[in-house]
Structure 1
Amino acid sequence: MRILIIAPEQIPVPPPVGGSVEHNIYQIAKKISSKHQVTIISRLRPNYPRKTILGHITIIRVAGSNKQAYLSNVVHTIKRQRYDLIQIDNRPKFVQTIRKTFPLTPISIFLHSTTFISSPITTKKQATSDLRQANLVIGNSLSLQKHLKRNFPIISRKVRFVHLGVDVNQYRPRKKKSAGLHRPFVILFAGRLIPLKGIPVLMKATQIVRKSIPTAKLQIAGGTGKPSYKKYLKQLASTLRIPVTFKGYVPRSQMPSFYRSGDCFVCPSQRHEAFGLVNVEAMASGIPVVASRIGGIPEIIKHQHNGILVSNYKRPEAFAKEIVHLAKNPSKAYRIAKHARLDATKKFSWRATARKLENIYSSKISE
């Protein structure tokens, strides 16, 4: 197959920092069988070449100061080429323009969240129109697949799901920390600093945890497009009088070390989380995960087996209770972390992700 993947317009592939969608594109493309030729179109940024060839993968980067300019340059670059299938990641609005250029080529929309099929980004009418133009719609979890079928029943026949993966060689458990009464208990969070991620809930939970575990401290990796929100979080930390380190954007090459620095990882999402790749990365890194029972997260975390799920995820007390329990029961924390590592290795590799996607695409092309 000759597969074209069109990345969003914001961040180059591979991403220097952040860019979970672009990271996913790059990792999947690397694991797609060399029997297939993969072309990735992504955003051009300073210090990135316009073209990179890596074995069976070709990455072409185009300029674009906004979505329309980027999409116009994408079309100009690819319009004389031939592909067996085109995958558009997280930009349903691109599909109608690409369909005009390639009226007979199967088009797949790979969605990583509900953001770009929901208000305020789009209307239900527009999202329905965009999705109908695709031959396939891929969600990154069973939860997202169900959401798509429920909200857009007219496309239900087209919807599939493919779980994302993790590089289990890069994300590995640390050497066991030496025990010590006064050693800090480090709680980790990674993700965008936006309200739906539930960081204030985690900060209030940390305040409660410190009543039982005085050495507990919080480390937060991730950036935000709104400096005012980060300022609010810092003010909240000061008001709560808890030790919080804001690390900002952490390069992907340094994320394995970030996970290994913690005693537990917390994902306090307050709205639908389609998959939650950070949870899988933490699991592969061999630390216990405490996460909201919401969206696709329960597809990854099995309560009391490879992590802890919090049903009452709007209440800081619910998270604090589980964090304290892990801190006071290191043998349980170790057992959960061990199962988490095993499950990440067996179920969530990029190779498995790529293989399932290949099978879906091969079936579509052969119809």
Structure 2
Amino acid sequence: MKLLIIAPEQNPVPPPVGGSVENCIFQISKQISNRHQVTIVSLQRKGLPKKTKMGHVTILRVRGGSKKTYLSHVMKKVKGGHFDLIQIDNRPSFVRVVRRAFPTTPISVFLHSVTFVTSPMTTRRQAAIDLREADLIIGNSGSLKRTLQHMFPQHKKKIKYVHLGVDLTQFHPGKQISQGRFRVLFAGRLIPRKGIPVLMKAIHIARKTAPAVHLTVAGGTHHAAYKKHLKKLASSLRLPVTFIGNVSRSRMPAFYRSGNCFVCPSQKLEAFGLVNVEAMASGLPVIASHNGGIPEIVKHESNGLLVKSYRHPEAFAKHIVYLAKHPEVVRRLGKQARKDVETHFSWKKTAKNLMQIYQSAI
């Protein structure tokens, strides 16, 4: 199969920092390239070549700008090409332009969240119109599939899902070095929906009975005022928290191995939660909001702990204290977490499931 993947306009493929969508594109493409030809079009960034060829994967990079400008550059780059299927990641608004250029080619929209089919990015009515031209809509969890089917009942039959994966050789357990501390980790964008204030308040409560608990936060933000707000909150709570900023993808495995547990306190729908899978692959127990697709990954008291009252810091604090005081539970949950990821969440499995859907469509 000759597959064209159109990445969003925000980050290059592969992304040096962050860019979970672009990372998914890169990892899936690597897995399917032994049997299929893959062309990826993504953002050009200084220091990266305009064209990268890796076996049967070709990455073409074009100039960015607005979504409309970027898409124009993409279409000029692929004009006249022949593809068996076109995948558009996270940009349903691109579909109609792509359809005009490729009227008979099956088009799949791979959605990683509901962000680009809801306000303020678009209206539900406009999203439904954009998705009308797609042959397939792929979500990254059963939860996202059900949400999309509820939102767009007219497209129900063409909505499928595949779970995402993790590089099992890159992300693996390491020797825990506690140095008398119980290190709680968070990784993600510093935005309100991620629930960092809830986590910080939970750490404050937990330290009253488990003073060894410390917090490390990895991630950046485009909103300096929000990061300032978080640091002010940490100061007012007298928290031992370290903000380490954006961490490159190559350094993320070591980041996970530096902790004793990982907390994902998402306050709004979390379609999948790739950071949870990466932490679990690294042998960490995960404490996470019972929210969206997270329960498809984290199984309560088997490979991690789920928090139903995830708006309340006390609920997270209870689980953090429990793990801090029971190292044998940390080891048991972490061991099972790694085993479950090996079974269910490899990129190889993601790619296999996705291509089965595509081959059926063709």
| Same fold? TM cut 0.5 | yes
In structure 2, C-alpha distance between the alignment counterparts of 1:154 and 1:27, rounded to whole Å: 32
Residue 198 of structure 1 corresponds to: 195
- Alignment-derived partner of residue 172 in structure 2: 172
Secondary structure of the 1:341 match is helix
1:134 aligns to what SS in structure 2? Answer: coil
Partner Cα distance (1:150, 1:67) in 2: 27
Equivalence for 2:103: 103
Q: What TM-score results when the alignment is normalised by the length of structure 2?
A: 0.99
Partners of 1:96 and 1:176 in 2: CA distance: 51
Contact 2:141 2:162 in 1 (8 A): yes
Q: Which amino acid aligns with 1:14?
A: P
Q: Distance in 2 between matches of 1:255 and 1:267?
A: 16
- Runs (4 or more) in structure 1 with deviation over 3 Å come to none
Instruction: For 1:16 and 1:330, locate their aligned partners in 2 and report how far apart those are by CA, in whole Å.
Output: 34
Q: Which residue of 2 aligns with 1:114?
A: 114
Gaps spanning 5+ residues in structure 2: where? Answer: none
Secondary structure of 2:169's match?
Answer: coil
Is 1:336 aligned to 2:330, yes or no? Answer: no
Amino acid at match of 2:235: S
Aligned partner of 2:250: which letter? Answer: S
- How many Å separate the matches in 2 of 1:39 and 1:187? 40
* Residue number in structure 2 paired with 1:354: 351
Give the superposition deviation at 1:177: 3.3
Q: Which residue matches 1:312?
A: 309
In structure 2, the partner of 1:84 is: 84
C-alpha distance in structure 1 between counterparts of 2:330 and 2:246, whole Å: 28
1:286 aligns with 2:283: yes
Q: Distance in 1 between matches of 2:133 and 2:217?
A: 40
Aligned equivalents of 1:343 and 1:157: distance in 2? 30
Other-structure match for 2:136: 136
User: 1:33 offset after TM fit, Å?
Assistant: 4.5
SS in 1 for 2:253: helix
Counterparts of 1:260 and 1:164, CA distance in 2: 21
Q: What is the CA-CA distance between 1:176 and the residue it aligns to?
A: 3.8
Q: Distance in 2 between matches of 1:52 and 1:61?
A: 9
**Structure 1 partner of 2:162:** 162
| 2:184 maps to 1:184 | no
Q: Which runs of 5+ in 1 are unaligned?
A: none
Q: Given that residues 177 and 258 in structure 2 are in contact (C-alpha distance below 8 angstroms), is that contact kept between their aligned partners in structure 1? A: no
> CA shift at 1:66, angstroms?
1.6
Secondary structure at 2:336 match in 1: helix
Which amino acid in structure 1 is aligned with residue 300 of structure 2? H
User: Counterpart amino acid of 1:215?
Assistant: A
Partner of 1:207: 204
Counterparts of 1:120 and 1:156, CA distance in 2: 23
Residue 61 of structure 1 aligns to a residue whose secondary structure is strand
- Separation in 1, partners of 2:331, 2:177: 11
Amino acid at match of 2:47: N
CA distance in 2, matches of 1:29, 1:83: 15
- How far did residue 344 of structure 1 move? 0.6
The SS at the match of 1:212 is coil
SS across alignment from 2:216: strand
- What do residues 138-159 of structure 1 show as CA deviations (whole Å, max 9, x unaligned)? 0000000000101100000000
| Paired letter, 1:341 | R
Does 2:220 align with 1:223? yes
* SS of corresponding position for 1:257: helix
Alpha-carbon distance in structure 2 between the residues aligned to 1:35 and 1:282: 30
SS of match in other structure, 2:208: helix
In the alignment, the residues of structure 2 paired with residue 337 and residue 115 of structure 1 have an alpha-carbon distance, to the nearest angstrom, of: 31
Instruction: Show the counterpart of 2:297.
Output: 300
The DSSP-based 3-state class of the residue aligned with 1:274 is: coil
The one-letter code matched in structure 2 to 1:83 is: F
What letter corresponds to residue 55 of structure 2 in structure 1?
Answer: G
Kindly state the Cα deviation for residue 214 of structure 1 after the two structures are TM-superposed: 1.2
Where 1:363 maps in the other structure, the secondary structure is: helix
1:67 Cα deviation from its structure 2 partner = 1.0
Amino acid at match of 1:348: F
1:252 aligns with 2:223: no
Q: In the TM superposition, what is the alpha-carbon distance from 1:103 to its structure 2 partner?
A: 0.8
* Letter paired with 1:358: M
Secondary structure, in 3 states, of the residue corresponding to 1:15? coil
SS in 2 for 1:113: coil
- Greater mean alpha carbon deviation, residues 208-217 or residues 23-32: 208-217
Matched, 1:323 2:320: yes
SS at match of 1:214: coil
